[in-house]
């Protein structure tokens, strides 16, 4: 009897023992799930946030999300026709670029596509994010802040003073300019004043269905792919999230 490709051992080089065990676990989890679900959706992630991804798991308890390093997930699916676990999965693995993940589900394809198309959540922008608007703080009291935070505001660059226990902005201050990348200080100020500029969004790139193969849904590059910094940004939350799969 021929040996199942799902049981095939893979070689993972250039990693320590702990990392090797974790990567092998990811591969096994993905391969074991292939027999349980009809569809695999590959999506890219704009403005990744751990908390938002955890919320997604709660919304899709009947399905399975995978967020691992792209190279590891590609090995799990099969990188070539000869080692793919199911027909045309090697074509899916070739689409693993940038910050992305996999969703395995038995829900109908149109329902999944419509859900992802409509899903979007606002988030606080991080350093390096391109500001979407000008933000200007007028001169005067900052009544929403406790007086204890005044030294921190000054360290962030705000021209403040403390008068009778009330923080005052001694002159008008421009937090950021539209079209310019945010500095760490600017991102911190925007969070303090409650302005969310970033949109956490998942974009379906393609999906695979048993017996039908791969279908391209959106082949345009995501914001993360255009940045071309996969090695540094790629799925930075892997160790935390994958433990919950």
Rounded distance between C-alpha atoms, residue 158 and residue 241, angstroms: 36
With residues binned 3-state (H G I as helix, E B as strand, rest as coil), the percentages for the chain, rounded to 5, are: 35, 20, 45
Q: Which domains does the chain have, with CATH numbers?
A: 14-122+199-242 (3.30.70.1730), 135-192 (3.90.105.20)
Mean pLDDT calculated for residue range 28-43: 96
pLDDT band at 14 (very low <50, low <70, confident <90, very high): low
pLDDT digit string, tens, across residues 92-147:
999 999 889 999 999 999 999 999 999 988 999 999 999 999 999 999 999 889 99
**pLDDT surpasses 60 at 4:** no
pLDDT score for 173? 97
pLDDT band at 18 (very low <50, low <70, confident <90, very high): low
- DSSP sequence for 55-107: HHHHHTTTSEEE---HHHHHHHH-SSTTT-SSTTHHHHHTT--SSEEEEEE-S
**pLDDT surpasses 80 at 177:** yes
**pLDDT surpasses 60 at 239:** no
């Amino acid at each position: 009897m021929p040996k199942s490709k799902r049981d095939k051992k893979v070689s993972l080089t250039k990693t320590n023992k702990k990392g090797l065990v974790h990567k092998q676990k990811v591969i096994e989890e993905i391969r074991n799930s292939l027999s349980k679900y009809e569809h695999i959706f590959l999506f890219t992630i704009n403005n990744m946030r751990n908390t938002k991804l955890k919320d997604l798991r709660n919304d899709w308890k009947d399905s399975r999300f995978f967020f691992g390093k792209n190279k590891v997930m590609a090995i799990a699916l099969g990188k070539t026709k000869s080692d793919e676990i199911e027909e045309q999965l090697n074509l899916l693995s070739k689409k693993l670029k940038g910050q992305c993940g996999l969703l395995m589900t038995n829900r109908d394809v149109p329902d999944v596509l419509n859900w992802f198309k409509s899903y979007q959540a606002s988030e606080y922008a991080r350093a390096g994010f391109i500001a979407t608007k000008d933000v200007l703080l007028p001169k005067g009291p900052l009544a929403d802040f406790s007086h204890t935070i005044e030294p921190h505001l000054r360290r962030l660059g705000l021209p403040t003073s403390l008068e009778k226990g009330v923080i005052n902005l001694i002159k008008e201050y421009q937090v950021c300019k539209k079209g310019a990348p945010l500095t760490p200080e600017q991102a911190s100020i925007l969070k303090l004043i409650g302005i969310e500029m970033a949109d956490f969004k998942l974009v379906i790139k393609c999906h695979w269905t048993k017996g039908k193969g791969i279908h391209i849904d959106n082949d345009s590059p995501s914001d993360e792919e255009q940045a071309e910094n996969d090695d540094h940004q790629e799925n930075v939350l892997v160790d935390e999230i994958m433990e919950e799969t």
